[in-house]
A and B are shown apart, each in its own frame.
Chain A
Amino acid sequence: MLEGLKRINEYEWEVPVGYTGNMRVPGRIFISEKLMGTLEGGAVQQLANTATLPGIVKYSLAMPDIHWGYGFPIGGVAAFSMDDGVISPGGVGFDINCGVRLMTTPLHSDDFTPKIQKAINVLFSEIPAGVGGKSGFRLDRKELSEVMTGGVSWVIERGYGIKEDMEHCEDSGRMMGADPVYVSDKAFTRGKNQLMTLGSGNHFLEIQAVDEIFDEETAKIFGVREGQICVMIHCGSRGLGHQVCTDHINTLEKAVKRYGISLPDRQLACAPVTSDEGGAYFAAMACSANYAWANRQAIMHKTRKIFESLFGIAYEDMHLVYDVAHNIAKMEEHDVGGKMEKLCVHRKGATRCFGPGSSEIPLKYKSSGQPVIIPGSMGTRSYLLKGTKTAMEKTFGSTCHGSGRVLSRSRAKKELKGTDIREELFREGIYVKASHDSALAEEAPQSYKESRDVIEVVSSAGLAGVVAAMRPVGVIKG
């Protein structure tokens, strides 16, 4: 165990004020004894660094998939007061609104297994993935501005989806406050031909079979049943979002000096939420978030078309369960000391997890809490969770986002061979297609914490309810 941490209960540990200089609030890590061995000193330091930022409310929080990133740790959540708090790209990351969506199909895994290779081969040839993957979209400046403000609605208006899709996205797939005026020409240039591309790294499109139902009642509400074939899409805002982050860190670095903020890490560059610089970053971040939602919608549309033609199923019979962002900053109302207060909540590698009754979630899910989608590593189960009241009380309605890496990419590449991974997965009934073998080594199951260990923590700590688990049957990777 790392020195200086204080155990609060079975799944909660405190990083006390004083762990690093100038902490304004303590840190709280949700983690189990078992996962404690994976906790890196660098990640705890970043959690403590986050606690030094002005206007931070209650705690600097970390989910059990916490790991060492830059700025905030990955798996970090922090909320800031609108009066004296800040907004920071270091709490969002370069890949703004990197997120996940889950779509169900009427297909059953028994009928699907013989067709899996065909489906994956067609998806791989039709959906651009990997370094240099370019889309068929060529957006002019006006169209791209409309994507940035319209998000999912822009794509649906062009026939790339149905109305229900919009309702089943966090923020209806359209974040308010987006203003392309704060997006640079460079970001525009990068965004014009990357809509409907997957990207590389840990991004993927996966065909999954529902493996186990833990909560029948909620599974019914979410529209999932055992054996059902689903599609999970994990990607973000591509070069546009990366450029927005790069550009605004420059502006915010100047703001740090202007507002006299002292920082332990330059990547935590920030400005008061209500300042011109903070507002400009938020408006540009919202543009990128909307681009990311449009991107995932366009990829899902393409998938539906492929499934329609390959399996003779109707487009409308493939339902979007939900789409969640896991790299984002948002204005939300939360209970602070018995009073509802508007806060700027940063989730970096963490997922919103609003509980039953929340006004922010679709009517259909009001009684159950919002669906939360947690991708497993390649070859391991992914999970469908539901939001809880406890998450609202303890973590500003947030939970984990994935399984969290344990092996660096360079070591994974050295120790593992892509071709071996591919064959190993194939023997387990998972057909994988990637742009290059090294991508498979980097993302091999051995590189990640066991997803079930992370899920066990959030479920036991009450930060989510487990609804269903899905096993992968086919994967395309960038």
Chain B
Amino acid sequence: MEHTADALFHITSDSLEGLFEDAAKAMFYTIYGVKKSKEEFSYHLCISADSLETLLRDFLSELLFITDTEETVFTSFSIEINGYALDCTAHGVAFDPELHSGGTEVKGVSYSGLNIVKQKDRYVLDILFDV
């Protein structure tokens, strides 16, 4: 979606897990410019929060921390959500400047306009990454 300063995504999915997965994919696409990669590494994380929005923001912020410090590019995510708790295994490869320099660093996941709503059978989300 159009946002002059940052990267704004409109995401829909028929499940919460799918919504979270696509939000993570959107973030990694923004940073590294790739949608798919081999799956040489996996990383397991558990997050809990007091709302779905906070859960999503904390999940993505944790992934940002991991990718910044472990230099791992994640492109697929197996997610389970129970209430406001999440269990995820992220799959990806080691950062390679030849393959992964097509994007721009995400500085943070913003709460601005962050709302997860259910419209009929689908979950809908707008999410803004500061780049």
Contacts and interface: CB of A to CB of B under 8 A. Distances in A.
A131 B7 contact: no
A68 B104 CA distance: 19
Contact of B4 (A265, A406, A438): A406
B114 A266 contact: yes
Interface string B56-86: 0010010011001101000000000000000
Given A246-B64, A267-B111, A409-B131, 5 more contacts: A93-B107, A131-B101, A242-B107, A405-B4, A405-B5
A410 B65 CA distance: 24
A71 B111 CA distance: 8
A93 B130 contact: yes
Contact of B100 (A71, A132, A407): A132
Given A131-B31, A245-B108, A267-B110, A408 B101 contact: no
A435 B101 contact: yes
Nearest to A411: B2
A27 interface: no
Contacts of B54: 253
Interface string A225-246: 0000000000000010011011
26 contacts: A67-B4, A69-B5, A74-B5, A93-B107, A131-B101, A132-B71, A132-B101, A186-B65, A189-B69, A199-B105, A200-B104, A200-B105, A200-B131, A239-B68, A239-B69, A246-B61, A246-B64, A265-B113, A266-B112, A266-B114, A267-B112, A405-B5, A410-B7, A438-B33, A438-B103, A478-B105
A246 B58 CA distance: 9
Given A93-B130, A190-B69, A439 B3 contact: no
The SS class assigned to the B binding surface is loop
Interface string B78-122: 000000000000000001010011111101111111100000000
B39 interface: no
B6 interface: yes
B52 interface: no
Interface string A60-81: 0000000111110010000000
A249 interface: yes
Nearest to A46: B112
Interface in A169-183: none
A189 to B, nearest CB: 5
Most buried by A among B7, B100, B105: B105
A40 B4 contact: yes
A408 B112 CA distance: 17
Interface residues of A, number: 44
Interface string A3-40: 00000000000000000000000000000000000001
A478 B114 CA distance: 28
A383 interface: no
B4 A243 contact: no
Contacts, number: 111
Contacts of B61: 246
A410 B94 CA distance: 26
A305 interface: no
Given A190-B65, A405-B4, A438-B33, A242 B108 contact: yes
Contact of A266 (B7, B69, B111): B111
Contact of A67 (B5, B101, B102, B128): B5
Contacts of A436: 33, 101-103
Contact of A408 (B3, B68, B108): B3
B97 A132 contact: yes
Interface string B33-64: 10000000000000000000110001001001
A165 interface: no
B4 A68 contact: yes
Contact of A68 (B5, B7, B68, B105): B5
Nearest to A438: B102
Contact of A410 (B2, B69, B101): B2
Contacts of A70: 6, 110-113, 128, 130
A201 B110 CA distance: 17
Contacts of A406: 4
Interface in A369-426: 405-411
A450 interface: no
A134 to B, nearest CB: 8
B4 A94 contact: no
Contacts of A438: 33, 102-103
Given A94-B130, A186-B65, A68 B3 contact: yes
A136 B7 CA distance: 30
A35 B81 CA distance: 47
Contacts of A409: 6-7, 104, 131
A269 interface: yes
A130 B5 CA distance: 18
B20 interface: no
A411 B4 CA distance: 9
A265 B3 contact: no
Contacts of B68: 190, 239
Contact of A131 (B69, B103, B128): B103
A277 interface: no
Contacts of B8: 408
Contacts of A200: 103-105, 131
A266 B108 CA distance: 14
A130 B65 contact: no
Contacts of A245: 107-108
A248 to B, nearest CB: 11
Most buried by B among A70, A95, A189: A70
